[in-house]
């Protein structure tokens, strides 16, 4: 349903004397998500996961430059086509809880998402109530303003807003942040149910264990680069993971006793090499100088000279 090839995002900044500088944030990023599946995107904070969501939706800030190719249902995405799909065919559960309009009641904002998706006003109001109840929010929440919500309640309202319509592609950016364990599991279960009905879901998260509980595939980001794509069933310590950064993430999970601390990778190495090369024990000259291609290997893809 969605295919991203060689996506790069950089930001323009100005120093003393108004000299312009380009700061790379994402480079050579690849991602594919099929209908009926959940593609988890994992990595440390600052890896570029949220920027990916904003690039797909065309909501990057004005000083950002985006290059590469994105295809939705086989059609190339352009700024104009993204605007026509945003909120209708492609919906976002944002990471920030500040996305709600502080001047409008919750019910109005959730219903507007339904109207944007083609519902009548009456259908949207009814669906808004059902959507909030699905995530454990009482009916009276419809009449509340955002300042009356806790952080976890706001997160659930944003999830209800994104899922009320008939979007075919849902981008969930850290949808379980601030939720209690039970509500988090229920939210992930609902995303799984949406995928099982034929929708495509991109689950952006740093909680790898949560992602593995519902995802079909896992894409690992490191310093703004896709370093590995693997089946969720292959994300284990039995040798299926081929990139050293992916294996380090696995070893750092609670189930493995936090046996490995994950070093912070470089977002954009000055020499253009692998962002993990400075911390990798297997790093060599090629790793530090040149970023390899994403190569098919063992049912997945890996970007590593030593795989």
What pLDDT, in 10s, does the model give residues 6-24? Answer: 888 888 887 776 788 888 7
> What is the band of 140 on the pLDDT scale with cuts at 50, 70, 90?
very high
The pLDDT of residue 203 is 93
Kind and range of the H or E element at 196? Answer: helix 181-196
The rounded distance, in Å, linking the Cα atoms of 150 and 154 is 6
The rounded distance, in Å, linking the Cα atoms of 272 and 133 is 49
Residue 278 has pLDDT above 70, yes or no: yes
Mean pLDDT, rounded, for 278-288: 79
- Structure-token pair, residue 71: 């295809």
> What is the band of 169 on the pLDDT scale with cuts at 50, 70, 90?
very high
> What is the band of 141 on the pLDDT scale with cuts at 50, 70, 90?
very high
The pLDDT of residue 147 is 93
Domain boundaries, the chain: 2-89+169-175+207-302
Name the nearest CA neighbour of 144 among 134, 135, 132: 132
Please answer whether residues 232 and 209 qualify as being in contact, where contact means their C-beta atoms are separated by less than 8 angstroms: no
- Structure-token pair, residue 239: 């040798």
Name the nearest CA neighbour of 1 among 174, 285, 198: 198
- Structure-token pair, residue 119: 């519902």
The pLDDT of residue 265 is 57
The pLDDT of residue 216 is 92
> What is the band of 263 on the pLDDT scale with cuts at 50, 70, 90?
low
Residue 259 has pLDDT above 60, yes or no: no
The pLDDT of residue 128 is 92
Mean pLDDT, rounded, for 126-154: 90
Please enumerate in sequence order all residues whose Cβ is within 8 A of that of 47, keeping only pairs 6 or more positions apart, or say none: 221, 222, 223, 224, 265
Three-state SS at 9: strand
User: Residue 146 half-sphere exposure, CB side, CA atoms within 13 Å?
Assistant: 16
- Find residue 2's DSSP bridge partners: 33, 72
Poorest-confidence range of 75-89, 146-160, 286-300? Answer: 286-300
The pLDDT of residue 266 is 55
- Structure-token pair, residue 60: 């990057």
The rounded distance, in Å, linking the Cα atoms of 264 and 260 is 13
Average per-residue pLDDT in the chain? 84
pLDDT digits (tens, 9 = 90+) for 105-120: 999 999 998 888 788 9
CATH topology of domain 2-89+169-175+207-302: Rossmann fold (3.40.50)
């Amino acid at each position: 349903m969605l295919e991203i090839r060689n996506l790069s995002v950089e930001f323009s900044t100005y120093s003393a004397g108004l000299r312009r500088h380009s700061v790379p944030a994402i480079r050579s990023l690849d991602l594919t998500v099929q209908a009926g599946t959940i593609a988890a995107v994992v990595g440390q904070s600052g890896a570029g996961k949220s920027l990916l969501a904003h690039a797909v939706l065309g909501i990057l800030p004005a000083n950002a430059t985006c290059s590469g190719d994105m295809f939705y249902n086989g059609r190339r995405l352009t700024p104009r086509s993204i605007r026509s799909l945003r909120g209708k065919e492609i919906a976002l559960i944002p990471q920030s809880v500040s996305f709600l309009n502080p001047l409008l009641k919750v019910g109005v904002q959730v219903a507007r998402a339904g109207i944007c998706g083609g519902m009548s006003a009456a259908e949207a109001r009814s669906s808004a109530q059902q959507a909030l109840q699905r995530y454990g929010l009482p009916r009276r929440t419809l009449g509340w303003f955002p300042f009356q919500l806790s952080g976890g309640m706001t997160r659930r309202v944003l999830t209800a807003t994104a899922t009320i319509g008939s979007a075919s592609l849902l981008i969930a950016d850290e949808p379980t942040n601030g939720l209690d364990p039970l509500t988090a599991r229920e939210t992930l279960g609902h995303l799984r149910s949406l995928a099982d009905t034929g929708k495509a879901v991109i689950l952006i998260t740093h909680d790898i264990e949560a992602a593995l509980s519902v995802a079909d595939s896992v894409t690992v980001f490191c310093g703004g680069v896709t370093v590995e794509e693997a089946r969720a069933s292959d994300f284990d310590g039995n040798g299926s993971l081929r990139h050293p950064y992916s294996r380090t993430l696995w070893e750092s999970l609670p189930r493995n006793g936090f046996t490995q601390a994950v070093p912070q990778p470089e977002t954009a190495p000055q020499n253009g090499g692998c962002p993990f090369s400075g911390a990798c024990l297997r790093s060599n000259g090629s790793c530090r100088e040149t970023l390899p291609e994403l190569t098919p290997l063992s049912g997945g893809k890996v970007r590593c000279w030593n795989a």
